[in-house]
Amino acid sequence: MRYFRYLTVVLVLLFFSCSKPKPSPRPVAYFRLNLPPKHYVRFNPDSCPYSFDIPVYARVMPDRDEKHPHHCWMTIVFPALKAAISVTYYPVEGNLEQLVDDSYTLAYKHSIRADDITEKEFVNKKYGVYATVFDITGNAASPMQFHITDSTRHFFRGSLYFRARPNRDSLDPAIKFLEKDIIRMIESFRWK
C-alpha cells in the first residue's frame, strides 16, 4: 500500500511537471559588422596645404557646394560603414581665435543630446601639428569632431557622421573602429 502511494505521488508530479516551456523574449541585438583590415595610403592633394594617411577602404569626395567654393573642403566616405568625415580648411588670416571658438561651439552644440564630451589634445611640435579631438558620447549626431592647426597659418576641421539614426549602442563598434582611423589621420598629418 505504501508503495502504491509513492508511485501515485511520483506519477502525479511527473504528469504536472511535463508541460511546454513558456516562450521567453530574445534579447535585443544589433547586426555584426564585418570590419576590413587596417591599411593606409598617403592622401596628398596637390592644391591643398596638407597631407595625411587615410584607410584604403575610404574614398575622398571633393565638396562641390556652391555656398562654400573652397577647393580644400571634402568628405572622406566610408561606404561599408555608412559613415563620412566632413573636413574643412581655412587659411588663418588673423582669425585663429575665431576659428577655434567656432570649432568648440560646433562640438558643444551636441551637448543637448550628448551624455559627455571629452577633449583630447595632440601635439607634434616637430611638424607644427596641434589638434583637439572631441569625443561626444551619447546619441549625438556627430560622435567625434576635431580640429588641427599650426597656430599661425592653417586651420583644418573634421566631423564624423553616420547615415543612421544616432544610437550610440548600435554605432559604438563602428565609432571605435573609425576613431583609430581619425587618430592615425591626426598623427600622420603634415602641413606643406
pLDDT per position as a tens digit, 28-41: 766 777 889 999 99
- Look up the domain containing 150 and give its range: 40-191
Residue 6: is its pLDDT beyond 70?
A: yes
pLDDT, one tens digit per residue, over 94-127 is 999 999 999 999 999 988 888 999 999 999 999 9
Asked, for residue 11, whether it belongs to a domain, the answer is no
Asked, for residue 31, whether it belongs to a domain, the answer is no
Local confidence band at 18 (pLDDT 50, 70, 90 cut-offs): low
All three cell numbers of 107? 562640438
Asked, for residue 27, whether it belongs to a domain, the answer is no
| Whole-prediction pTM | 0.81
Asked, for residue 160, whether it belongs to a domain, the answer is yes
Percent of the chain with pLDDT over 90: 65
pLDDT of residue 63: 79
Asked, for residue 110, whether it belongs to a domain, the answer is yes
Average pLDDT, stretch 153-159? 97
Structurally, the chain folds into a number of domains equal to: 1
Asked, for residue 13, whether it belongs to a domain, the answer is no
Give the CATH number, domain containing residue 57. Answer: 3.40.1000
Local confidence band at 66 (pLDDT 50, 70, 90 cut-offs): low
Asked, for residue 26, whether it belongs to a domain, the answer is no
Asked, for residue 65, whether it belongs to a domain, the answer is yes
3-state DSSP call for residue 15? helix
d(CA 78, CA 158): 14
Question: 143: closest CA among 60, 87, 84?
Answer: 84
Residue by residue, DSSP assigns 81-147 as GTEEEEEEEEE-SS-HHHHHHHHHHHHHGGGGTEEEEEEEEEEETTTTEEEEEEEEEES-S-SEEEE
Share the mean pLDDT of the chain.
89
